[in-house]
Amino acid sequence: MNEQQLLGPRAHGEACGRAVLKATAEDFQVDEVLDIPLTGQGEHLWLWVEKRGLNTEDAARRIARAAGLPLKAVSYAGLKDRQALTRQWFSLHLPGKADPDLAAAESPALSILKRERHNRKLQRGAHSANGFILRLTALQADREVLEQRLRQIAEQGVPNYYGLQRFGFDGGNLLEARRHAEREELPVQRNLRSRLLSSARSYLFNRVLAERVAAGSWNQACVGDLLAFTTSRSFFMAGEAECQDPRLAILDLHPTGPLWGEGLPPTAQAVNELEQAVGSQEPALLAWLSKAGMAHERRILRLPIQSLTWHYPEPDILQLAFVLPAGSFATVVVRELVDLMPTGQTDTPCEF
């Protein structure tokens, strides 16, 4: 499956040019933002870990093995990319135990930068945001057009699509989810089940968002919408008054789209009709998500980009720095700027 099938149209027009992302791990840096004051004592050891070329689950396995602990004793807030330089928190449950020797976990791919005790484990989703530093190399773009686009997305945000990595190589996770849905069965393996269910929900959300982008309503509240604040999981119905809320204009309040589960989307009027129409195109996936006992949730349609800055270390390199809410994808920000080229295909001439 290609990008257009898995995501949807751009909101701000065609790409301004082309570039390479992730030529090296340092070109894609992520720092987890965790606003939790640590107590310095307790039965949980928290680790601030830098890793490159490792995904979060690989790092957790290394740490568990070095500590002599079962994998379930190692917790983390969120999953981070393998092809990146990332820094994130892990916690180890050590009731009545001293800090373990973790030297065996460290290597050029993994460094433990900080250790501190706390009285609670690190919960999934506990981080509030992620900070990114991205380097777009082999850049082929009109700088004036690119600067205008950067200002535009800083002011208006971008569609909050789930990125391609959610769906696996060539959409493999989604294709496997469809096969399970057609057989009306759930994978026995917990991690596989979670990954496939997540891919199915993400795809359906992207389909709704694609319709809203095409209609020009992805960043506007409509009567019948369910609205949510950037960092809140709760939502409320939009009537005429709510559609005029000034917090919509400052990118603090947003329309939401469905993360399907049991029951029908709780939206109303034309918004509900659109969501049900999208869902009706994938009845097997909807039934499968309901069978899995997934609760209906919401996700904001618009992604605000905080603290966006940029500069050019070299004429053909654009470096971006910004902060995104947890659960969102930096690649969908880049997608509104440029098309990405595979590494090694940077010398092809390009017209804009």
* pLDDT given for residue 30 in this prediction: 96
Q: Give pLDDT tens digits for 198-240.
A: 999 999 999 999 999 999 999 999 999 999 999 888 999 999 9
For tokens 């947003």, the residue is 254
Q: Which residues are catalytic?
A: 81
The DSSP bridge partners found for residue 51 are 86, 110
Measured CA to CA, the distance from residue 186 to residue 196 in angstroms comes to 9
Nearest to 127 by CA among 81, 76, 56, 166: 76
Q: What is the DSSP string of 84-110?
A: SEEEEEEEEE-TT-PPP--GGG-BTTE
The parts of the chain modelled with pLDDT lower than 50 are 345-352
Q: Give pLDDT tens digits for 86-143.
A: 999 999 999 999 999 999 999 999 999 999 999 999 999 889 899 999 999 999 999 9
* pLDDT given for residue 348 in this prediction: 33
Query: Quick check: helix, strand or coil at residue 319?
Result: strand
Q: Cα dihedral angle (29, 35, 37, 42), rounded to 10 degrees?
A: -70
* pLDDT given for residue 201 in this prediction: 96
